[in-house]
Amino acid sequence: MQLYLPIADLPVNIFLVLAMGAAVGFVSGMFGIGGGFLMTPLLIFIGITPAVAVASVASHIAASSFSGALSYWRRRAIDPALAGVLLCGGVTGTALGVWTFTQLRALGQLDLMIALSYVVLLTTVGSLMFSEGLRALMRTRRGAVPPRRTHNWIHGLPLKMRFKRSKIYLSVIPVVIVGIVIGFIGAIMGIGGGFILVPVMIYLLRVPTSTVIGTSMVLTLVTMLFATMLHAVTNHLVDAVLALILMVGGVTGAQFGARAGQKIRGEQLRLLLGLLILSVGVRFAIELVIQPADLFTIRELGASG
């Protein structure tokens, strides 16, 4: 069944888009991430221009994150104070990201920048997460004791605040900076940033894993809602029909994903997530190498539109 997308200006199979939304929603719920790093490339691969894909996927990420965050809130696995500080930076970063997005589109460099950003970011983060997850899995099988986490220079910064739910005493400076970076990247690339935020919070900020995923989803929910509003008002690139279909599939899939994620051990989740991120990055790199002419054609069309 074909459905015409007014902003994307092409017909798509509604069942294919629904299935994509459900699958990415499942991944979102399982790993505690927005899923945009997977959905945006999938839309680009089926012919939707990168600019429209990035702007429209933000609403899908927000819907999936809302569904997942609600589940974690019921289990008291969200730190409200930590989420609030993250959002102070996240909202600022999102606004800056949308402004940069608009400037790059005006210069005709947006689509190429999106493609290059995906290749660099996903292959780097995916490789690091996969290798760390593999080492953790091997340690578990050998029965080795995991290395003890020690405080780093970040924990010596001023303006400290006590986050009671997470049971940590930490400076708000790195938390706000992390929020800014995640918001900025999310607005430009159409990703929630959870696959970056979760490892940073665990390994750099030393936030307990019991509150990391739920808190991450709150940041993703608010920043992606804000990004959707800004993209709709400033760039007029949000395809409401596409976003609605993705949201329906995403909300459904996220509930099943959250349940499945509770049955898999932490090191296995990190290994699987790292492999998934790396695979998408490699796939994007192949597209960039094999079909550079198509990317430049898309870039020019996006600039002229």
| Bridge partners, residue 222, by sequence | none
Closest CA to 224 of 85, 72, 10, 40: 40
Collapsing DSSP to helix, strand or coil, 137 comes out as helix
Number of helices and strands (H, E) in the chain? 11, 4
Q: Give me the residues paired with residue 163 across strands.
A: 168
Alpha-carbon gap, residue 26 to 249, rounded angstroms: 9
| Secondary structure (DSSP) of 215-238 | HHHHHHHHHHHHHHHHIIIII---
And the tokens for 203? 């390994």
Name the nearest CA neighbour of 35 among 187, 183, 181, 190. Answer: 190
Tokens linked to 124: 């780097």
Q: Are 49 and 242 in contact (CB under 8 A)?
A: no
Residue in 68, 93, 50 with CA at minimum distance from that of residue 237:
50
The C-alpha atoms of residue 213 and residue 225 are separated, in whole angstroms, by: 18
CA distance 228 to 295: 24
Per-residue pLDDT for the chain (305 aa), expressed as one digit of tens each?
787 787 777 888 888 888 888 887 777 766 666 677 778 888 887 888 888 888 888 777 777 677 677 777 887 878 888 889 999 999 999 999 999 988 888 888 777 787 788 788 878 877 877 777 777 777 777 765 555 555 566 767 778 888 887 888 888 898 899 999 999 988 888 777 777 788 788 878 888 877 887 888 888 888 888 888 888 888 787 888 888 888 787 777 777 776 766 666 655 666 777 777 777 777 777 766 665 545 444 444 444 44
Q: What is the pLDDT of residue 88?
A: 92
In 10 A of CB 91, how many CB atoms?
18
Tokens describing residue 126: 């995916």
pLDDT for 303 = 41
Q: What is the pLDDT of residues 99-134, one digit of tens each?
A: 998 888 888 877 778 778 878 887 887 787 777 777
Spatial distance between the Cα atoms of 91 and 226, rounded to a whole number of angstroms? 7
Residue 297 is encoded by which pair of tokens? 């054609």
Q: How far is CA 16 from CA 2, 19, 25, 30, 272, in A?
A: 10, 5, 14, 21, 24
End-to-end CA distance of the chain: 28
> 């953790």: which residue's tokens?
136
| 169: DSSP letter | E
Determine contact, residues 60/189, Cβ cutoff 8 Å.
no
Q: What is the dihedral of CA 112, 117, 123, 129, to 10 degrees?
A: -160
Contact criterion met (CB below 8 Å) for 132 and 274: yes
On the 0-12 / 13-18 / 19+ scale of CB atoms within 10 A, 248 is middle
How many residues are listed for the chain in this entry? 305
Quote the pTM value.
Answer: 0.75
